[in-house]
Amino acid sequence: MSQQIEPGSATHAAQQRQRASQLAQAVRNELQKAVIGQNSVIDDVLTALIAGGHVLLEGVPGLGKTLLVRALARCFGGEFARIQFTPDLMPSDVTGHAVYDLNTEQFKLRKGPIFTNLLLADEINRAPAKTQAALLEAMQERQVTLEGRALAIVQPFMVLATQNPIEQEGTYPLPEAELDRFMLKVRMDYPDADQELNMVRQVSRSTRADMLDVQPLRTVLQAKDVMALQRIASDLPLDDQVLDYAVRLARTTRTWPGLTLGAGPRASIALVRCARARALLRGGDFVIPDDIKGCALSVLRHRVRIAPEFDIEGLDVDQVLKQLLDQVPAPRL
Domain segments of the chain as ranges: 9-235, 236-332
Q: How far is CA 263 from CA 75, 179, 194, 301, in A?
A: 33, 11, 37, 9
**Of 238, 257, 241, 278, which Cα lies nearest the Cα of 327?**
257
| Average pLDDT rounded to a whole number, residues 69-96 | 90
Q: Which of the listed ranges 108-117, 130-139, 160-169, 288-297 does the model predict with the highest average pLDDT? A: 288-297
At residue 11, the pLDDT reads 80
- As a whole number, mean pLDDT of residues 324-330 equals 93
Domain 236-332: give its CATH superfamily.
Answer: Magnesium chelatase subunit I, C-Terminal domain (1.10.8.80)
CB atoms within 10 A of CB 161: 28
Note the pLDDT tens digit of each residue in 51-74.
999 999 998 887 788 888 888 988
- Residue closest to 320 by CA, chosen among 332, 333, 308, 329: 308
Residues 291 and 271: their CA atoms lie apart, in Å, by 9
Checking phi first, is residue 217 left (phi over 0); if not, alpha (psi -120 to 50) or beta? beta
Averaged pLDDT of the chain: 87
Average the pLDDT over 35-42 and give the result. 88
- For residue 6, what pLDDT is reported? 40
d(CA 127, CA 249): 33
| pLDDT per position as a tens digit, 248-305 | 999 999 999 889 999 999 999 999 999 999 999 999 999 999 999 999 999 999 999 9
Q: Say what the pLDDT of residue 208 is.
A: 59
Q: Kind of pairing, strands 305-306 and 143-146? A: unpaired
Domains 9-235 and 236-332 equal at CATH topology level: no
What CATH number belongs to 9-235?
Answer: 3.40.50.300
**Predicted model pTM:** 0.89
